[in-house]
């Protein structure tokens, strides 16, 4: 079974929402107005560019996401806490139901699973804040392999 970018984004969100309390509602490539939380969204936006080094074989799929967090714009300390939790989750989660991550680039830092502990605090200390949109942004690029392809 071929795994799509949408499948990957949804699995990441599902696993994150199990571990992070009050994670914002998830949308993938679609910005909708949610009547229950109109100012709260976690948007996985699929990027077209590819900056990951291509030194794995063709069995791996490369996916680039920008994850925008635009909830409670006037409550930055609370918002920043959720962004740090999400970055921490992304930096330490390598296995999902349908795929495994073999290489990750998170907010400009490329690393493998064996390097995760060394980079944890570096990543957590550098969430990106867009002054214009007043949103936090996570650049998340991954190389994955489908579990069925192993």
pLDDT < 50 regions, the chain? 30-33
Whether this prediction's pTM lies above 0.85 is answered by no
- Tell me the per-residue pLDDT of 2-37, one tens digit each, with 9 for 90 and over: 788 888 888 999 999 999 988 887 776 544 445 555
Range of the domain at 34: 5-149
Q: CATH code at 118?
A: 3.30.2000
How many folded domains does the chain comprise? 1
What are the φ and ψ backbone dihedral angles of 80, each rounded to 5 degrees?
Answer: -60, -35
Find all residues with CB under 8 Å of 140, minimum gap 6, and list them: 64, 65, 66, 67, 90, 104, 105, 106
Q: Which residues pair with 28 in a beta bridge?
A: 44
Return the closest-CA partner of residue 144 out of 103, 87, 93, 89. Answer: 103
Find all residues with CB under 8 Å of 37, minimum gap 6, and list them: 24, 25, 71
């Amino acid at each position: 079974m071929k795994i799509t970018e949408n499948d990957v984004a949804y699995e990441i969100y599902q696993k994150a929402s199990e571990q992070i309390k009050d994670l914002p509602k998830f949308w993938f490539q679609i910005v909708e107005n949610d009547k229950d939380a109109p100012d709260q969204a976690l948007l996985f936006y699929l990027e077209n560019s590819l900056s990951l080094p291509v030194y794995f074989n063709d069995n791996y799929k490369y996916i680039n996401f920008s994850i925008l967090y635009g909830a409670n714009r006037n409550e930055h300390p609370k918002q920043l806490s959720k962004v740090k939790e999400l970055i921490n989750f992304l930096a330490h989660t390598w296995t999902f139901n349908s795929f495994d991550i073999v290489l990750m680039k998170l907010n400009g830092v490329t690393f493998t699973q064996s390097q995760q502990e060394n980079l944890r605090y570096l990543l957590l200390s550098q969430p990106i804040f867009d002054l214009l949109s007043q949103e936090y942004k996570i650049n998340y690029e991954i190389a994955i392999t489908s579990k069925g392809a192993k």
